[in-house]
Amino acid sequence: MAESVTTYARATAPDEGAPPIPDAVAAVIRARAGELLAPRVHRLFRSSLVLDALDPAEAAGPDAPGADGGRLGGLPGLPDGTDWPAFAGRPMQLLAQLDCAGLAAAFRAGGPAGGDWPLPADGLLLFFHDEWLTDFSGRGCRVLHVPVGAPPRSAPADDRGTPAVPAVPVRAAWALSAPSYQDRELENVFPDDFLIALDLAQDVAEQLPRPAVRVLGWCDTDTGRPEGHRPLLQIESAALDVDWGECVNVSFWITDEDLAAGRFDRVRHGFEVA
């Protein structure tokens, strides 16, 4: 059987560094938006990384830590002098420890020519959140950028307990990410007919897979979108061995300004309840 190949309409994404659009997606956009507005829709698409769990054999192999994206869960490598993040007087839970060098390599290997990797090129990004999910203002999280090499550290003693998430090594791969009808940027392309944005987003979603874990890109869920922010990390509960009750996913959000400056102290937290 001949191997199937996805073709891309690079001519429809003329900006340097813009992600290429698969032919099938480009056709859907033209059908809904028309030839005049299709280029505006194309320019909304973003590059992202999908994190997939490594199988046990890959995770145990000698090359596992090198070109991969790090891991979900586990214990963080916190340098001496760095406190374990807390919220409301209790230690937060580590959701991910991502290898910036591995992510950057995956981004450049699969992404568009000229596309800049927007996150740090080295070190680790540690994503903590309040697993009690009691704060709806977005303050129940913390993202730390730390050097590689610090020994793993357990959470401080807490009478209510802060369960560690079982470690899941992951591999990163570049992926196209599309806006949804809930994103104002797409809605603004069709100010006179919201249904076009709705139908277009649904048609595109049928062409692009929705991953369980995504870095950057657009929001894949129905969670609230903080004004002026974009997703930094999204994790479905099914990707982890966790019990968040009726919560089905959590997300971390960052402003364009903070992303460009490499600032992570103002990242916000979001979550969706089924």
**Backbone phi and psi for residue 13, each to the nearest 5 degrees, phi listed first:** -125, 75
Superfamily of domain 10-273: YwqG-like (2.30.320.10)
For residue 271 the two structure tokens come to 């979550």
pTM of the model: 0.88
- As a 3-state breakdown, the chain gives helix, strand, coil percent values, each rounded to 5, of 25, 25, 50
Q: How far apart are CA 106 and CA 155, in angstroms?
A: 31
Tens of pLDDT, residues 210-222? 999 999 999 998 8
pLDDT tens-digit readout, 158-217: 766 677 899 999 999 999 999 999 999 999 999 999 999 999 999 999 999 899 999 999
Q: Give the pair of three-digit tokens for residue 262.
A: 């490499």
Helices (H) and strands (E) in the chain, counts: 6, 12
Q: How far, in whole angstroms, is CA 259 from its chain's centroid?
A: 13
Q: How far apart are the first and last CA of the chain?
A: 41
Q: By C-alpha distance, which of 175, 176, 183 is closest to 222?
A: 183
Q: Is 187 exposed, middle or buried (0-12, 13-18, 19+ CB in 10 A)?
A: middle
DSSP letter for each residue of 201-243: HHHHHHHS---SEEEESS--SSS---TTEEEEEEEEGGGSS--
At 25-83, the pLDDT tens digits run: 999 999 999 999 999 999 999 999 999 998 766 655 544 444 478 999 999 999 999 99
Break the chain into its structural domains and give their ranges. 10-273
